[in-house]
Amino acid sequence: MREALIVWGGWSGHEPEECAGIVKEMLEKDGFTVYLEHGTEAFADPSIHDLSLIVPIITMSKIEKEEVKNLADAVESGVGIAGYHGGAGDAFRESVEYQFIIGGQWVAHPGKIIDYHVDVTRPDDPVMQGIDSFAYTSEQYYMHVDPSNEVLATTTFTGEHAFWIEGVVMPVVWKRKYGRGRVFYSSLGHQAKEFAVPEMHEIFRRGANWAAR
């Protein structure tokens, strides 16, 4: 039986508790035993090394050195990690070790909630198979990203809200390795209602299953 831990907290605007419940139900349908924890203290627990998957849903906030070290060691040893939007890509801004795990860090969302387009760049990958490029309404994340990421989908900035980034192609979905652990990230999912978008929901579900050992 695969076991997953969802750790939620941080900025309330991303509705972390509600989203944690949605992700819990999603993973349980795929056969996981799922544990929910509120707060970063869960990352310091030695038992996380025995998990299949960790899902952080904690925007901003802070993480202690012993917490991020234990998390990094667990992922390096083979525990998977899957995250989305600010819950993983804008967590613990002061922790470069955490950012090294995830493979990116949010820095801006010009225009805030806008209509934009997600372009599937790896339709052959199992995570994206059968999913066509699609329109999306949310925060279009501008991120600093690791060049070692395997990018599965991108978005292109029009320059309407920040003229100097016109034409910039930005990763939206990626997977990567951290040691023996698999890491999956999608920048989609500003609030709980976005899980009702079929493409967003399926991309995260598949990515989480891919990441889990």
Which two structure tokens, joined as six digits, stand for 46?
Answer: 């030695």
pTM comes to: 0.98
Range of the domain at 134: 3-211
- Quote the number of domains for the chain: 1
Q: What is the mean pLDDT of residues 59-69?
A: 97
pLDDT band at 28 (very low <50, low <70, confident <90, very high): very high
Q: What is the mean pLDDT of residues 185-197?
A: 98
Domain harbouring 34, CATH code:
3.40.50.880
Q: Are 63 and 92 in contact (CB under 8 A)?
A: yes
Across the chain, mean pLDDT equals 98
pLDDT band at 201 (very low <50, low <70, confident <90, very high): very high
> Which residues, listed in sequence order, are joined to residue 82 by a DSSP beta bridge?
184
Q: What is the mean pLDDT of residues 65-86?
A: 98
List of E strands, 39-168: 53-59, 80-84, 104-108, 113-120, 134-139, 142-145, 150-156
- Mind listing the pLDDT tens digit for each residue in 152-171? 999 999 999 999 999 999 99
pLDDT band at 200 (very low <50, low <70, confident <90, very high): very high
Q: What is the mean pLDDT of residues 68-87?
A: 98
Cα–Cα distance for residue pair 7/134, rounded to 1 Å:
29
